[in-house]
Amino acid sequence: MFVVFQYYKKGNMKESAIEPEGPLKGLKVLELAGIGPGPLCAMLLSDLGANVLRIERNKPSQLGTPRDPKFDLLRRNRPSVSVDLKKKEGIETVLRLTRDAAVLIDPFRPGVTEKLGLGPDDCFSCNEKLVYARMTGWGQYGPLSQVAGHDINYLALTGILNAIGPKEGPVPPLNLVADMGGGAMFLAFGIMAAVYECQQSQKGQVVDVSMTEGSAYLATGNFGLNAAGTWTNQRSDNILDGGAHFYGTYQTKDDLFIALGSIEAKFYLQLIEKLGMNPENLPDQMDRSKWPMMKQKFTEIFKTKTRKEWCEIFEGTDVCFAPVLTFEEAQHHPHNQSRGSFIEIDGVVQPGPVPRFSRTPPAFPSGPPGFGDDTETGLKAWGFSTQEVKELSEKKAIGWQD
């Protein structure tokens, strides 16, 4: 699974051949395969050096709409072991793996692992120090806990979705806020908090991560603004939702876009001066009644130059400016290139591991493996003998089944 990759000279990563490197080296994690936030969390842990073993489904019919593994980036940098969780021997295999694991990631609906025989009590009986991390949309209990949902639904229930988009209607912010922010990041933080506590108590526990609650937590500041009466429920009417002329996007002469975030007065003054406007002839920056008029002025001004021309004027200043780039353009921006923010694995450009560490940098990550490619080597690395792997394979409890 772990192979040598060319050292990325602009990044802060070590070249690594076999063993993972990074601040989480030595942390053993079992990941029950899911989609979205669970894999992103597992990738984060693995990128930072954790020994993550991904337990995959073992038949093509169970994968939904599979794609070429090299593009399934959230599966990168960890071995793929196929286990049939419908077989007794498959369940016993996972339970045995939990004995040496510090963490198990459960991405299923509440109650699914209990029915399989892999619930918290089953796993704690094998390892009382295990951190059992559960990732769901609605949480482990509540009226909606058993129903399906996606990022857009969780955001709708928190008030966040209502605040995003034009006046005409809410717009989903991709699946970044609930799935990845409210889900994966809180799952990672919850795992590390529980691992830290376990070092004191020598006992594991269940971590219940709800994407709905995680999203709401991310919006804590907005709840404060709303309670104070300084946030309205009308979209594109507030300081951070595009209502303010100094915080938003504008189309340029070549039909591209730039982004402004000139909130602070000193930054706003620089913006006004570079636009060739006299501040003495303009209304107060925070006069909300004048925002629509100022937004129209800005719209007309930014249409007079190309995005490249605006970059030449604003980049490197404190105006709080950036061009709105595509995924492809972002890879080539000088700032991103100077830090080695993007790396290339198997011909696929993707974000590199973050955050960065001065003393324990992570290794260059390996690409996503084929489904079940590491079943034999992965199990052996976690203590299974050659004979045991052979017997499990003969029973079709493990291994990819075409």
Active-site positions? 150, 179
What is the C-alpha radius of gyration for the chain, rounded to an integer number of angstroms?
A: 25
Length of the chain in residues, anyone?
Answer: 402
Q: What is the dihedral of CA 357, 361, 364, 365, to 10 degrees?
A: -70
Q: What is the Cα–Cα distance from 212 to 21, expressed in whole angstroms?
A: 33
User: Do the beta carbons of residue 55 and residue 94 sit within 8 Å?
Assistant: yes
Q: What is the Cα–Cα distance from 147 to 195, expressed in whole angstroms?
A: 30
Paired residues of 328 in beta bridges = none
